[in-house]
Structure 1
Amino acid sequence: MSAPSIVILTGAGISAESGLGTFRDEGGLWAQHRIEDVATPEGFARNPQLVVDFYNARRTQAAEATPNAAHEALARLQSEHSGSVTLVTQNVDALHEKGGSKTVIHMHGALNSALCGRCEHRWSAPLEMTVGQSCPHCGAPSARPDIVWFGEMPYEMDRIEKALARADVFVAIGTSGNVYPAAGFVQLARHAGAHTIEMNLDPGENVGLFDDIRPGMASQTVPAWVSEVLSQ
């Protein structure tokens, strides 16, 4: 019998234990701004300085963060599981990579990447981006954070949907279950016949679609599940 094909979706909850705030945290970076002002193309057009400053602050915060036991356990799973493990994250930090994961699909972009708004060239973002920064490929002064904002299409959806179509197990970790299209991944996985698992501190809005609910901190539930899978 072949090893199961696993697809994992991670959200802000897995990085919260590493000190990175979520949309809902009081007093954090997100609490100081409206989403419409810092996470939409329209907000960037209105006030690019505000948006660049916001992501500079997030980039600095993320650079100082360290991975937790959940990130490290998923890296172990990728390394030791004999079947395929597709790791998709809604997070824009690099904690999965810092934790040892070699292949991560960043469907919402990455803080450590810059994007040219004209030619779509990507390059490593400096810790402090500036408004009007030039693209190293085409020279246009149109650099922006390589982040998928609300109203934009997430990255690598074809690749993700193909993985979900052949998944035997789908796991959502630390996700709210209300941001689409990621919130709909569990339905695609169920349609493919996958066993679905949610690991969350609090139930996501789509919790009723999961076969197995494992509440608790990701740093505890994820390593326990990974050990369970690798022992089979």
Structure 2
Amino acid sequence: MIFVLTGAGLSAESGLGTFRDEGGLWSRYDLADVATPEGFARDPARVHAFYNARRANCRAAEPNAAHLALAGLEAALGDRVEIVTQNVDDLHARAGSRRVIAMHGHLMQALCHACAARWPAPETMSPEDSCPRCGATATRPDVVWFGEFPHHMERIEAALARASRFVAIGTSGSVYPAAGFVAEAQRRGIPTLELNLERTGSSALFDETREGPATRVVPAWVEEMLATA
């Protein structure tokens, strides 16, 4: 089974910036203010404004060739592929992937932190929004913030234990626990491959690194996999 981990670099060519992009949306905010539970408690209106902008950015984006290639790999190999994403956008789904594990949640969903209800996020969210299930004014974006535990970790760990190949695409390898997956794969003797725009601080942990834009290196790798499937 091929375990594929995707990060922000996969969606960058669709117009969704990474944390490190100069001049991008993230560069205008302090992560402690907009991507932590403490920041939300201090100023929920500021956090909602940030995620309203991110949702608008996401709605305007389209899946790129890398998303489409991965959807094609899943369609061809079925349960022999497990895609785990650190991204909160919906581009994997819009490209046609159906079995993606979103470990950091879903930007296009809202969450009630009073009763844990989830529903499609409206175009604009605010602190005054009430939960459609319990009525509490306790709504927030359904994303995992720094200091919170990622979703589906038991399922992810089980998939990694079954893997015969580990591939990381467009991820800096700096955010845990996802950053530790390559070391776990190495410990299990699983071949590892990094596909990234450039080498990262964790590149030395991989058996092989291929550098280049995701829209070039991902389709090329998928073509190789399908030729040998």
TM-score, normalised by the number of residues in structure 2: 0.97
Alignment of 1:32-71 (within 5 A): 32-71=28-67
Tell me which of 188, 200, 205 is aligned to 1:209.
Answer: 205
Which secondary structure does the structure 1 equivalent of 2:14 belong to? coil
Fraction of identical pairs, as percent: 59
CA distance in 1, matches of 2:172, 2:58: 20
Deviation at 1:123, TM superposition (A): 0.8
Alignment match, 2:4: 8
2:225 to 222, 229, 232: 229
Counterpart Cα distance in 2 of 1:17 and 1:142: 34
Q: Secondary structure at the match of 2:160?
A: helix
Please show how residues 1-232 of structure 1 align to structure 2 within 5 Å: 5-81=1-77, 84-232=80-228
Q: What is the one-letter code of the residue matched to 1:127? A: E
Unmatched 5+ stretches in structure 2: none
**Is the CA contact (8 Å cut-off) linking 1:166 and 1:192 kept in structure 2?**
no
Q: SS of the counterpart of 1:231?
A: helix
Deviations 1:25-49 (A, max 9, x none): 1111111110000000000000000
CA contact (8 A) 1:113 1:145 kept: yes
CA deviations over 1:86-120 (Å, ceiling 9, x no partner): 11111111111111111111111111111111111
- How many residue pairs were aligned? 228
Deviation at 1:78, TM superposition (A): 0.3
Q: Distance in 1 between matches of 2:200 and 2:93?
A: 25
Q: Which moved more, 1:133-142 or 1:161-170?
A: 133-142
Report the RMSD for the aligned CA atoms in angstroms.
0.9
Quick one: which amino acid aligns to residue 46 of structure 2? L
Task: Give distance in 2, aligned partners of 1:135 and 1:27.
Answer: 35
Amino acid in the other structure paired with 2:22: E
TM-aligned CA deviation for residue 222 of structure 1: 0.6
| 1:6/1:83 contact within 8 Å kept | no
CA distance in 1, matches of 2:181, 2:158: 11
Which moved further from structure 2: 197-206 or 56-65? 197-206
Question: Which of the two has greater helix per residue?
Answer: 2
| Regions of 4+ moved over 6 Å | none
Give the Cα separation in 2 of the matches to 1:132 and 1:214: 47
